[in-house]
Amino acid sequence: MVVVGTWNLENLYRPGGEFGPHDAAAYQTKITALAGTITGIGPDVLGVQEVGQPEALADLVAALGGEWHTVLSQHPDVRGIRVGVLSRLPVTVLDDVKIFSAPLAAVQSADVGPATAQTSRGMLAVRVEPAPGITLDVAVCHLKSKLLSFPGGRFQARDEGERARYGAYALYRRAAEATTLRGLADELVGGHGHDRPVVVVGDFNDEPQAATTQIVLGPPGSELGTAGALRPDRGDEWRLWNLATLIPEAERFSRVHNGSGELIDHILVSRALIERVEETRSVVGHGLPSVTEDPAARRDAADSDHAPIFARFRL
C-alpha cells in the first residue's frame, strides 16, 4: 500500500518578514497543527504548496519526527512560495518546470508591461520506489490563483472594467500553466498509461469541471462516474483520471471561500493506478475557515486554509 497526498500549507514562513506570523508562538502553533494532520494521514509521498522558506519546511519535518526526504522547486513565485515534496521514500528529481510548454506563446498578465512565458511557480516531478522494482512518478503543481491583484498591490478593482481585464489575465495564465502541466504529464506517462504509475497532485485553484482543470485530464469521455470510465480506448495510454468523485460527498471540498466549499486541490492518476485506488479523502473533519480576498487576514492563522487530499493505492 502507498499513500499519496497534496496539501497547500498556506504561507509557510518563519516568524517576521512580510508574510510570516508576527511571533514565534503563532508560528509554533501552526507547525504543531500541520504536523499533527500529516501524522494522522500517514502519507508516503506528500506534495506541498506555499512553502515560503526552506527553513520553515525543515521545522515542519522536525516536528513530524522520523526519516523524511524533502525536495523543493527551485522556482518560487514573486512572494517566495514554491511547491515541494515530503516523502518517506528516497526521492529522485525528474523535472522542475518553469517555462510554458512550446509552442505556447507568452500571455498578457497586466494592462502594461511585458507578457509572461513562465508559470507562477515551478512544477516539480519526482520518482519514488514504493517496493522493489516498482516506481511511482509524482508531479506537484500550484496553478495561478483566482485571487486577483491589481496595480499598486491593491486587491480591489477601481471599476468593473479593470476587474474583468485582470480576471481574464489570471485565466490566460492559469490555462497556459494547465497546458504546461499537461505537457509534464505527457513526459511522465509517455504513452504507456497502463504500465506507468503516475500521480499528478496539487492546488489547481479551480474545481473539477473548470476548463483549466479539464485541460490536464487529456482526451475526454472516460471520467470517473461516466459510462466510459473504464472502457478501454486508445486515449487510455495518455489520459489522467481525477479522483475527485471518489471523495465522500460530505468531504468533497478542500477550501471554503466566502462561505462556500470548493474542491480546488486534486489528485489525478494514470491508467495503471485507477483500479488500485483503495480510498480517497479530503481531511476536512477539523473544520476549515472561510477565507476572503484579503490574504493578510490569516497571517497568524493556526492552521492552513486548505484541507489535505490523499489517496491510498494497492501496489
What is the chain's mean pLDDT, rounded? 95
CA distance 181 to 105: 15
Give the model's pLDDT for residue 104: 96
Considering only CA atoms, which of 34, 12, 15, 2 is closest in space to residue 82? 12
Give the model's pLDDT for residue 296: 73
Considering only CA atoms, which of 180, 188, 93, 101 is closest in space to residue 141? 180
Give the model's pLDDT for residue 306: 96
Give the model's pLDDT for residue 5: 98
H/E segment holding residue 161: helix 160-189
Nine-digit cell string for 71: 525536495
Q: How far is CA 33 from CA 37, 254, 303, 304, in A?
A: 6, 17, 6, 9
Does 2-313 carry CATH code 3.60.10.10?
yes
Question: Peptide bond preceding 76: is omega within 30 degrees of 0, i.e. cis?
Answer: no
Phi, psi angle pair for 202, to nearest 5°: 150, 180
CA distance 306 to 286: 11
Give the model's pLDDT for residue 208: 96
Parse the chain into domains and list their residue ranges: 2-313
Give the model's pLDDT for residue 154: 87
CA distance 202 to 51: 13
CA distance 220 to 246: 18
If you search the block for the grid coordinates 468593473, which residue do you land on? 160
Express each pLDDT in 179-227 by its tens digit.
999 999 999 999 999 999 999 999 999 999 999 999 999 888 889 988 8
If you search the block for the grid coordinates 513565485, which residue do you land on? 77
Give the model's pLDDT for residue 221: 86
> Across the 315 residues of the chain, what is the mean pLDDT of every consecutive 10-residue run?
97 91 95 97 98 97 97 96 98 98 95 96 98 96 90 90 95 97 98 97 97 94 88 93 97 94 97 97 88 80 95 95
Considering only CA atoms, which of 244, 266, 261 is closest in space to residue 49? 266
Per-residue b or e along 25-59, where b marks 16 or more CB atoms closer than 10 Å to that residue's CB: ebbeebbebbbebbeebebbbbbbbbbbbeebbeb
